[in-house]
Amino acid sequence: MRDPVVQKIQDWLRAHEEDLLRDTRLLLQIPSIEGPALPNAPFGQANRDALDLALKLSKEAGMATTDLDGFLGFAEFGKGERLVLSLGHLDVVPTGPGWKHEPFEAEVDGGYIYARGSTDDKGPTMASFYAMKAMKECVPNLPARMRQAFGCNEESGFKCVYRYMETEEAPTFGVAPDSGWPLYHAEKGIADLEISAPLPGGDFALIGAMGGQRPNIVIDDFNASVKVAPSIRAEIDSKLPDSWDKNLDFHFDGDVLHIHAIGKAAHGSTPFRGDSAAIRVFRFLRELAPTAQQPFYDELFDSTHVGGAGIGIAGSDKESKDLTCNLGIVKSDAEQIHLLFNIRYPVTWQGTELQERCRTFLGKLESPFELKVMRDSKPLYFPLDHPLVKTIVDVYTEETGEVRTPGTMGGGTYARAVPNTVSIGTGWWGDGRAHETDERLKVEHLFKMSRIYAHILYRLATL
């Protein structure tokens, strides 16, 4: 028998679907890519604008609001010792080229909202906020404090949620609407490895390389320049006509060969779903390089292996399967090339183990590649019989009739930074993938998410 309180909450949501769509589009129209820090806006003015809108809507809903110096804001209602938290984020990754719909117009076309952030994570965040709003209106005596948080730095550092945990209590139960259904009970460790090497000189001298927006995005545009000595110019010219890569172009300016390639962006946790422009260029350089300089260009190209084999860290475990490795940013200075890799490693591994594997492997290469920087976010893991996990699974089955096993992911959500918190699903088949061009969310899925979130949050509040 269906819980009449849940039915009442969901009926309210059905009656306010147009309001949810309107407010979601307003939020999506704010280009909240991280920008230069300003007073009370540590992640730029656009992020500040998005947070201001979220807190304004919260105040209008009658919730108490708190602004943590622009890092994060939250809205709260209810009474009791138990705290139930939903953590969404308002910041988005850069858009990149190739959009058919303007990324910040939030156009509704064919039943979908097209916008950067529609699936990651403004759409789900607004669906969660409206679930909270419905509970406030329909269950005035809820025996828990309910809190909706709006983070501003999820995509590039988690500084917002780290600031939150400095002063705020851990939730009794928390959810981050930012993954797959019904929830992900394990999140791989995330590490950024910066590997550097001296730029190779000689007859085929790499003098410049640049591309990438963020470590967690597959590079979709890349440029490199090579100085070619007169003694091998004829050899290089003879190889160029055999270039097979139609997404790459090149030209000489004097003795400098300029190379440009385009690819396809994808989330760094699934680099195999994208098409790295950097890999295209490194492959091209490897094919052109004279024999004497082949080792460097072989090892440079091999380093881009999406399973991590090229930097000595490939592996897997039973719980979370294979490690993934995304070359997210490449840059060079006058002396060195710097490669920033975004790694998603198995939940049973340690970051120190990953670092040691990489250092040992690099030490055996012919070229002097060196690991210079290590940033690590430890894995997250909840057993399947945990009350938080079981409750969410039960609600999802009741709402959809689908029996799904909780998943594991390479992506990182706020859940890994806040105790007693897991990430839950966002959208269904047909919605656009996070970090890709023409990101989209089906309008009906926005509404459906909000109803399921409300049921989950109500169950956690009364567990």
Q: Which residues are marked as active site?
A: 91, 154
CA distance 162 to 260: 39
CA distance 24 to 117: 10
Contact 447, 20 (CB under 8 A): yes
CA distance 322 to 382: 19
The phi, psi pair for 134, rounded to 5°, reads -65, -40
Tally of CB atoms within 10 A around 109: 10
Residue 123 tokens read as 């759409």
Peptide bond into 346 cis (omega under 30): no
Per-residue DSSP letter, 269: T
Contact 152, 23 (CB under 8 A): no
3-state secondary structure of 409: strand
3-state secondary structure of 338: strand
How many secondary structure helices (H) and strands (E) does the chain include? 11, 22
Q: Which residues contact 63 (CB under 8 A, 6 or more apart)?
A: 75, 76, 77, 132, 133, 136, 148
Smallest Cα–Cα separation from 365: which of 444, 299, 269, 270? 299
Per-residue DSSP letter, 417: G
Give me the residue label for tokens 């609600």.
395
Give me the residue label for tokens 């890569």.
245
CA distance 458 to 144: 9
Tally of CB atoms within 10 A around 363: 12
